Amino acid sequence: MDRWCGRIAAVTGAGSGIGLAIVKALFRYGVTVVGMDVNLCKFKDFAEKCGSSNLHALQTDVTKEDDVVKNFCWVNQNMGRLDILVNGAGVFTDRPLTEECTENMKRMLDVNVLGLAMCAREGIKIMREKCIDDAHIINICSMVGHWPPATSEEAFYTSTKHAVKALSEGLRQEFVQRKSCMRITQVSPGVVYTDLFNQLHRFKPERLYQHPHLKPEDIANAVIFALGAPPTVQVTEMIVLPVGQKMLGQM
């Protein structure tokens, strides 16, 4: 990780959970971090506690293209470069597929798929403009992006994570076609103790957390592992599960 010290990262979903844990891990290794989220209270609390000029908060709604473009322009103009992009923003609802409202389905698509794709596009623009050919993109996916849905309640969310898997491989293929040394890693967590489950109907926290689960810091450690690989090594996919985890449908 020494080569990343003093370089610039942007992290979406930085306001809580996995995103905030990744921010803290990057900061510990000397990376200057721009945190992006719709709610950055916890990020700002961390930045204030650290008292460092190497943490920057940008309120960002990744579902709004104008917001995404504006804030990546801010990164370009004020940071002067971008070396690491972590796409950590994500949402999940768990009503049966035939009972889910269009608004919830659209939000999952907008945040989990379109938001990720727009942030990747704008971030990579900066990397190419600044000729940063050893940059690294991290897409936070999910274990459900690797197999069919176990229940109807997780079907739509699962479809968005399959899309993230396809987009990640598409970016890798583009880097190969351009003969670029930029790397991409897709990290797919199992059940993680975060606020994501607080608003769910079937998969309530008190039920899920009786079973083996991860902490956000476990996923942050996986990201650090991928970033710390030698420049000639690309960790393309990581599935990170707690020992003994059951499928959601079995919980």
Instruction: List the domains of the chain with CATH numbers.
Output: 2-250 (3.40.50.720)
**What pLDDT digit, counting tens, does each position of 68-87 carry?**
999 999 999 999 999 999 99
**What pLDDT digit, counting tens, does each position of 149-184 carry?**
888 888 999 999 999 999 999 999 999 999 999 999
pLDDT at 201: 62
pLDDT at 193: 83
pLDDT at 191: 86
Exposure of 200 in the CB half-sphere (CA atoms within 13 A): 21
The active-site residue, picked from 29, 157, 193, 209, is 157
pLDDT at 251: 55
* pTM listed for this prediction: 0.93
Q: Based on the residue annotation, tell me whether 209 is a catalytic residue of this protein.
A: no
> 76-82: which pairs have CB atoms within 8 A and are 24 or more residues apart?
76/126, 76/129, 79/8, 79/32, 79/34, 80/8, 80/130, 81/7, 81/8, 81/126, 81/127, 81/130, 81/132, 82/8, 82/9, 82/10, 82/123, 82/126, 82/127, 82/130, 82/132, 82/135
* Contact yes or no for 181/230 (Cβ under 8 A): no
pLDDT at 198: 63
Name the stretches of the chain with pLDDT < 70: 196-208, 246-251
